[in-house]
Amino acid sequence: MKKLPIAIAICAACLSAPSYAEIRINGFASIVGGKTLDDDSSLYGYDNDISFKNESVFALQLSADLQDKLSATAQIVARGENDFDAEFEWAYLTYEFTDELQLSAGKMRVPFYRYSDFLDVGYAYRWVRPPQSVYNIPFSTYEGLSLLHTSQLGDWDSTVQVIYGGYDGTIAVVSVNGDTELNDIAGINWTLSYDWFSARAAYFVADTSIAIENDTPTGVALNELEEALRNAGFVDQANNIAVDEDDGSFLALGVSIDYNNLLFDAEYTEFEVDNSALAKQTQYYTSVGYRMDEWIVHLTYENNDDKHESNRYNALPAVPPLNQGINLVLEGSKAKSNVYTIGTRYDFHPSAALKVDFSRFKDDISDTETDVIAVAVDLVF
């Protein structure tokens, strides 16, 4: 895999000098089976044939205390969707300046969401999968720096994290795929907690470039439109179609309540790449749950709305054919959907949970519905 030397260096730090390095090995796993309940439909990687591979995952985490405030962490993850080929998901070093301030460097998780740090640890949350209308950023790690500060603000616990780095890989965004380069990723997230209530805000920016591939109808349409605009001499409009060193931004707001047996979570996110063909994405979810000893029952509603501002639809009113092409492509890249999920979790073991989720996805653009049922056993060890 790319940039493997980083992972090798971290593992070398973990395994060297055994006389003084305390090494801990932890792990987690999710065995997930699911299927759609409709013929000729797919959702979350499932179709009408049951699969136990798509969302299953196994992982090991190695943590080494190198003393003198220095530690190393590496996480190896094998995903069913990748034929269980093991890869280094995390690999970083951490130095603690004080009990409240620490700096990490290497490959780490981007803290987009409330559950980002344990996104793959199904045991950490009540759903089979976090709400995908919100948790839909197609990458989750970056290579760079993270500065973490924890403190007390009166009776409140405060956690502030600042990150800087980059990402290079192939991802899918709004119906297009392509080699993606994110430079100068920078951002901050702040969490405040008091007893049974917590609130979180995050904001990130990045210099975004995507080489859109011709492997989807939207990708073909965008590339053909960009080429037509350049050939016609409309360079500025063509640049507004291309995703080349454009300013990308991500905003997230969230609250969480765990009061007696009542559970509530809500997150709202926005993702936008300025001066590009990518539609602005806005999404949110709200989820309520109720705990009864080892059981949790929950209901979740998700909403997703991706679209361009209407004033972009008339970039070339004086050139009807090209203007019509722009309007058709931008209109075709929008998305609007909602999801209802009802589920239950049963903690049948101190380190294992059984979950069952039923989700109904409604596409408001095509006016179609898709039902998915999934069963999971989540473990930590």
Non-local CB neighbours of 161 within 8 Å, separated by 6+ positions: 111, 146, 147, 148, 149, 188, 189, 190
Q: Which residues make beta-bridge pairs with 368?
A: 363
- The three-class DSSP label of residue 147 is strand
In angstroms, the CA 277 to CA 233 distance is 18
Over 90: is that where the pLDDT of 243 sits?
A: no
In angstroms, the CA 340 to CA 327 distance is 32
Is 212 in contact with 243 (CB distance < 8 Å)? yes
**pLDDT (tens digit, 9 = 90+) per residue, 160-197?**
999 999 999 877 766 667 788 999 999 999 999 999 99
In this structure, the dihedral spanned by the alpha carbons of residues 200, 150, 93 and 180, taken in order and rounded to 10 degrees, is: 20
Amino acid 1: pLDDT: 41
- The three-class DSSP label of residue 6 is helix
Enter the tokens of residue 292: 């009864």
Long-range contacts of 64-71 (CB under 8 A, 24+ apart): 64/13, 64/14, 64/15, 64/21, 64/22, 64/23, 64/24, 65/21, 65/22, 65/23, 66/13, 66/17, 66/20, 66/21, 67/20, 67/21, 69/95, 69/96, 69/97, 70/94, 70/95, 70/96, 71/96
In angstroms, the CA 288 to CA 284 distance is 14
What band does 5 get if pLDDT is binned at 50, 70 and 90? Answer: low
Of 301, 381, 297, 311, give the one whose Cα is nearest residue 346. Answer: 297
Q: Exposure string (b/e) for 166-179, b if CB count within 10 Å is 16 or more? A: ebeeeebbbbbbbe
Over 90: is that where the pLDDT of 228 sits?
A: no
What band does 233 get if pLDDT is binned at 50, 70 and 90? Answer: confident
Distances from the Cα of 251 to the Cαs of 13, 74, 189, 267, 281, in angstroms? 35, 28, 10, 10, 10
CA 172, distance to chain mean position in Å, is 12
**pLDDT (tens digit, 9 = 90+) per residue, 106-120?**
999 999 999 999 999
Over 70: is that where the pLDDT of 12 sits?
A: no
Q: Considering only 190-204, 223-237, 277-291, which range has the smallest mean pLDDT?
A: 223-237
Amino acid 174: pLDDT: 61
**This prediction's pTM:** 0.89
What band does 2 get if pLDDT is binned at 50, 70 and 90? Answer: very low
In angstroms, the CA 322 to CA 241 distance is 13
> Where would I find the H helices in 22-138?
none
Non-local CB neighbours of 251 within 8 Å, separated by 6+ positions: 202, 203, 269, 270, 271
DSSP one-letter code for 218: H
In angstroms, the CA 148 to CA 156 distance is 17
Q: Give the end-to-end CA distance of the chain in Å, rounded to a whole number.
A: 27
In this structure, the dihedral spanned by the alpha carbons of residues 167, 184, 208 and 180, taken in order and rounded to 10 degrees, is: -20
Instruction: Tell me which of 214 and 66 has the higher pLDDT.
Output: 66
In angstroms, the CA 6 to CA 76 distance is 13
What is the rounded average pLDDT of the residues 272-293? Answer: 92
**pLDDT (tens digit, 9 = 90+) per residue, 46-59?**
999 999 999 999 99
Amino acid 166: pLDDT: 96
Over 90: is that where the pLDDT of 309 sits?
A: no
In angstroms, the CA 25 to CA 63 distance is 7
Q: Which residues make beta-bridge pairs with 301?
A: 286, 340
**pLDDT (tens digit, 9 = 90+) per residue, 313-371?**
777 777 777 777 777 777 777 889 999 999 999 999 999 999 999 999 999 988 999 99
CATH 2.40.50.140 fits 95-380, yes or no: no
Q: Considering only 27-36, 164-173, 184-193, 211-220, which range has the smallest mean pLDDT?
A: 211-220
Amino acid 183: pLDDT: 95
Q: Which residues make beta-bridge pairs with 80?
A: none
**pLDDT (tens digit, 9 = 90+) per residue, 121-173?**
999 999 999 999 999 888 899 999 999 999 999 999 999 999 999 999 877 76
Of 53, 111, 121, give the one whose Cα is nearest residue 84. Answer: 53
Is 77 in contact with 89 (CB distance < 8 Å)? yes
Q: Considering only 7-16, 90-99, 281-290, which range has the smallest mean pLDDT?
A: 7-16
Of 326, 357, 361, 365, give the one whose Cα is nearest residue 340. Answer: 361
**pLDDT (tens digit, 9 = 90+) per residue, 62-109?**
999 999 999 999 999 999 999 999 999 999 999 999 999 999 999 999
Amino acid 17: pLDDT: 47
Q: Considering only 3-17, 19-33, 151-165, which range has the smallest mean pLDDT?
A: 3-17
Is 63 in contact with 24 (CB distance < 8 Å)? yes
